[in-house]
Structures are given as structure tokens and as C-alpha cells.
């Protein structure tokens, strides 16, 4: 063997001494952990409450074999003993009736889908990319607001997701349609996402409010349910008043009123129709 041959790496080896097969095995293990979401217990709780895992929701939303997930191996800045795959959010691109869309889906099986800096950076990247490229955005809202202590104290002042970026496209580019499906209890950031959408629908088991029962109850000293705060009855009462005062439902949606209360199985149909309407009128 010549000196040159002895310095030539084996095609089956990788930097660091591991073989490529070993590195691929590590990658697959990380992917399995990410796709496990909140694990058997977290997924069981969601199913018992009538909610689907976030990736199943996405599979039902986008065209078959069109989903491209981004950053699924991300982890939170503040680590815990129990893993938080993807920092509790799933993002990516897919096709909806052949049209490219960006999707943000909160993973309620992982720490109730709460948001933290890494999650926000990922959402912000997708939002900005969709704005630049002109993709409609679909928000699958089901989360319990900000995660403590990840966004408490000084951290709250420097959170990386700027909602003003979400509200307007880059100069010279048209507004992209934003549709939000509130598929479970949605508080804090999840509610703010819905408030930025042009079209908002709520399932009958869902609720939407700036703060959830865990925050409101200690503040007022009374027990209150998510439905009382922002379930279909409360939301449709607001919707009726808003539609009386606003001739244009897209404008009403900007004030966080609902366009419809739907069954979960209609999410794809209704979201696709809303994007068609939005693009037809260019908002």
C-alpha cells in the first residue's frame, strides 16, 4: 500500500472514526425520537380528548406524499429530563390540492404544545420564507401558550418571533393568505397566531383565548373552563356581533372572530376553500 493509499479514507467511514452505517443508525434513532412526539402517554392523552397527533393532522391536510418537514430534530434551549422533540412544533411545506403551502402545527402531546425560543425561531423562519416565496400559510393551533421558565423574566423581552413580521409581506410583495384551524385549547401564542389569520375556524372541542384556565383561575379566584373563555358558544357570540359591524368577513377575522365552527374532518376542505377565496380576491 502506498502512502497516498493509506491516507485515503474508506468509503464506509466518516470523520471521527465512526462508519457511515453507525452515523446513519444514530440519525435514525434521533428521527424515531422526534416522530414519537410526546410518547405513548402524551399521545394517549390527546386521543382520549378527541385530538389527533399533529403529524396525523398534517397527513390529512396535505396531498399524499407531498409533505416536507423541516427541523424535526430541533431541541429546546432549556433541556429537561423528558425530551421535547422539535421544541413542540412541527413545520414544513406540502401541497394542498396541488398548491404549495407552509404549515405550522403545534404538538399538544409535548408539554401541551407550549412555545419557547427554539420553537419561535423555527416558526419565524417558516413565516418569513413563505412571505418571500408567496406560499399561503396554514396554522394548526392547539397549544397552551408560552412555556415557563423558558420565556419568563429577561427571556420574554428577546423572544425571536416577531408577529409584526407575520402581519405584512416584504416590500413589493403581495400579502399571502393565512388560514388558522383551532383544533384544541389554544392560548397565548397559539391564539395570537389565529388573530393574525385572514380565515379562522374552530372545532367544537376547541377554545381560544389570550390566557387559559391555568392562568385565569388563580387571577380571579374562580374555576373557569376553556369553553367559557373561548369555546364555540363564546366565540360565535363574538362572531355574530363582529359580522354585524363588519361587512367583510376577512376584516372580521383580523379582530379574532371566527369564520366557522367545524367538525375536525372538514379541516382540509374548509382551509383549501378559504385559500382559494383569498387568492381569488388577493385579500
Please state at what angle helix 54-61 crosses helix 267-281, rounded to 10 degrees. 60
Residue 12 resides in a domain: no
* Spatial distance between the Cα atoms of 25 and 3, rounded to a whole number of angstroms: 32
The number of CA neighbours under 13 Å toward the Cβ of 258 is: 27
Residue 255 resides in a domain: yes
* Spatial distance between the Cα atoms of 280 and 87, rounded to a whole number of angstroms: 36
Burial of residue 124, with CB atoms counted within 10 A of its CB: 0-12 exposed, 13-18 middle, 19 or more buried: middle
Residue 130 resides in a domain: yes
Residue 107 is predicted with a pLDDT of 95
Question: How many residues in the chain?
Answer: 283
**DSSP collapsed to 3 states, 185-205:** EEECHHHHHHHCCCEEEEECC
Residue 235 is predicted with a pLDDT of 66
Structural domains of the chain, count? 1
Positive or negative, the CA dihedral 155, 46, 166, 134 is positive
In three-state secondary structure terms, 6 is helix
Residue 237 is predicted with a pLDDT of 61
Residue 13 resides in a domain: no
Q: What is the CATH number of the domain that holds 30?
A: 3.90.226.10
* Spatial distance between the Cα atoms of 193 and 253, rounded to a whole number of angstroms: 12
Residue 4 resides in a domain: no
Instruction: Say if residues 211 and 145 touch (Cβ distance below 8 Å).
Output: yes
In three-state secondary structure terms, 71 is coil
Residue 8 resides in a domain: no
Residue 2 is predicted with a pLDDT of 47
Residue 7 resides in a domain: no
Tell me the residue range of the domain where 52 lies. Answer: 18-281
For residue 65 the three cell numbers come to 406524499
Contacts from 247-252 at CB under 8 Å and sequence distance 24+? 250/198, 250/199, 250/278, 250/283
* Spatial distance between the Cα atoms of 174 and 169, rounded to a whole number of angstroms: 6
- Residue whose C-alpha is closest to residue 151's, from 88, 226, 238: 88
User: pLDDT tens, position by position, for the chain (283 residues)?
Assistant: 444 444 444 555 556 678 999 999 999 999 998 888 999 999 999 999 889 999 999 999 999 999 999 999 998 888 888 889 999 999 999 999 999 999 999 999 999 899 888 999 999 899 989 988 889 999 999 998 888 888 776 556 666 666 666 666 778 888 889 999 999 999 988 888 888 888 999 998 888 888 888 888 888 898 988 888 888 777 666 544 444 444 444 444 444 457 888 899 999 999 999 999 888 755 5
Residue 172 resides in a domain: yes
Amino acid at each position: 500500500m502506498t502512502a497516498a493509499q493509506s491516507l485515503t479514507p474508506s468509503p464506509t467511514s466518516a470523520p471521527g472514526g465512526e462508519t457511515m452505517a453507525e452515523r446513519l443508525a444514530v440519525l435514525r434513532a434521533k428521527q424515531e425520537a422526534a416522530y414519537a412526539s410526546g410518547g405513548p402517554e402524551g399521545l394517549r392523552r390527546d386521543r382520549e380528548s378527541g385530538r389527533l397527533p399533529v403529524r396525523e393532522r398534517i397527513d390529512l391536510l396535505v396531498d399524499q406524499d407531498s409533505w416536507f418537514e423541516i427541523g424535526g430534530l430541533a431541541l429546546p434551549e432549556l433541556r429537561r429530563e423528558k425530551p421535547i422533540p422539535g421544541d413542540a412544533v412541527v413545520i414544513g411545506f406540502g401541497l394542498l390540492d396541488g398548491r404549495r403551502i407552509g404549515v405550522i402545527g403545534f404538538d399538544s402531546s409535548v408539554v401541551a404544545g407550549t412555545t419557547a425560543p427554539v420553537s419561535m425561531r423555527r416558526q419565524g423562519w417558516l413565516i418569513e420564507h413563505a412571505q418571500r416565496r408567496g406560499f399561503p400559510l396554514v396554522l394548526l393551533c392547539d397549544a397552551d401558550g408560552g412555556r415557563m421558565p423558558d420565556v419568563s423574566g429577561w427571556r420574554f423581552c428577546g423572544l425571536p418571533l416577531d408577529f409584526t413580521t407575520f402581519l405584512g409581506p416584504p416590500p413589493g410583495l403581495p400579502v399571502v393568505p393565512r388560514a388558522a384551524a383551532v383544533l384544541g385549547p389554544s392560548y397565548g401564542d397559539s391564539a395570537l397566531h389565529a388573530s393574525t389569520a385572514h380565515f379562522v375556524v374552530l372545532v367544537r372541542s376547541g377554545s381560544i383565548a389570550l390566557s387559559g384556565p391555568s392562568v385565569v383561575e388563580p387571577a380571579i379566584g374562580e374555576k373557569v373552563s376553556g369553553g367559557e373563555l373561548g369555546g364555540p358558544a363564546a366565540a360565535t357570540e363574538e362572531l355574530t356581533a363582529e359580522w354585524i359591524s363588519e361587512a367583510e368577513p376577512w376584516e372580521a377575522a383580523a379582530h379574532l372572530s371566527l369564520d366557522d365552527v367545524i367538525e375536525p374532518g372538514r379541516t382540509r376542505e374548509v382551509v383549501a376553500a378559504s385559500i382559494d377565496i383569498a387568492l381569488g380576491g388577493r385579500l
